[in-house]
Amino acid sequence: MSTPTRPEINGSPAALAFDRAVDELRRGRAVQVSDEMRGLVVAAIETIQAALFERLAAASGGRAVMLVTAERAHAAGLSRQLSGAVSVAFPASTDLERLRALAGVTPGAATVDGAAFDVDPAPKCAPLAAAAFQLAKAGRLVPALIGFETSCAAMPGVMAIAQGDVVEHAPRFGHHALRLLSRARVPLADALECEIAVFGDEHSLAEHVAVVIGKPDPETAVPVRLHSACLTGDLLGSLRCDCGEQLRTAVARIEALGGGVLLYLDQEGRGIGLPNKLRAYVLQDGGLDTVDADRHLGFLADERSYDVAAALLEELGIRRIRLLTNNPQKITALREHGLDVTGRLPLVTTSNTHNERYLRAKHERAGHLDLAEKSGA
């Protein structure tokens, strides 16, 4: 008599391994990414502590390296490689903080003398490193790792995941499983008839907010604003960006148009998270613009995906919209996800001496439309 197959209670083991590997890196632990031939044991340089750094160095037998993206290696003057992973071997006496500076994690470290490091712009472990970078980015960590190559056999006490499982499940963070968590009437200063709904993403654990103003009619083109969270601008009134002004202007504009939806997306710092946004600010103070600062840390110029916005609008039963935006990429992305974007409503703000370089970079390098108007601030 055959034994009945037991169901996978928590779902796909590969998906679970992906989630757990991301969590391990965020907690400062090592994980192992493997293919059929070799393994790569890595820890995120942002979260690794001195004790684990020493244990990794000892376990590697002197073969530990730092792995960074080609963008970061180029920014640090280590390599002219345009894509992929770059391996940086370091002397055994190298201090962890020096490696953090080299990776761009330490504030103010724009460039570091790389003469003491042995750089390999095309390491054999590059595919495994690329998978590990995906895990780090899924955890909103700087894609820079300390690690060493090993066999494909799992190491005791180290969370292991197959490279193929990373490649398969990393896109889940762009395919959102949304669940309505709560909903309530919340009168706003600029929109008294307003309801706020919070949706949880079961994959990324992010929480996104839909601000429904008035009673938008889904049979018409609903005014919609996609607003990425910005703690410094939205809450604290930072003058380094125009996010807070955009947020308040959008609410008032949607109210004046008779109602619509503002989606408040958990995408701080164009998707890199608050700690990395502040690191980018330090680099901007050193002369880089907002695009180059993000690349200097090993990220793309914009790490956001607008799949979640399309999914949220679908949850709200909205398919035809007029988009309040200065960013043509948002229009393109929503149309690619099947939304009927019938038009664009510009969102003009005011610039000041603290954010004019940032706004100019968005216009000249990121293709944003409608430059902000100059204020006296």
Q: Residues 178-197: pLDDT tens digits?
A: 999 999 999 999 999 999 99
Which of 303, 203, 208, 324 shows the shortest CA–CA distance to 259? 324
Is 240 among the catalytic positions? Answer: no
Of the residues 72, 140, 240, 304, only one is catalytic, namely 304
Closest CA to 227 of 255, 214, 208: 208
Question: Tell me, what's the pLDDT at 5?
Answer: 66
Which residue carries 């071997």 as its tokens? 89
Give the Cα separation of 117 and 98 in Å (integer). Answer: 11
51 and 59 in contact (C-beta within 8 Å)? no
CB-count exposure of residue 106 (10 Å: 0-12, 13-18, 19+)? middle
Q: What's residue 165's pLDDT? A: 93
Catalytic residue among 266, 302, 307, 370: 302
Domains of the chain (ranges, CATH numbers): 13-172 (3.90.870.10), 175-267+304-374 (3.40.50.10990)
Residue 260: the pLDDT is 97
**Residue spans of the chain under pLDDT 50:** 108, 110, 375-377
CA–CA gap between residue 8 and residue 335 (Å, rounded)? 36
Active site residue 120: no
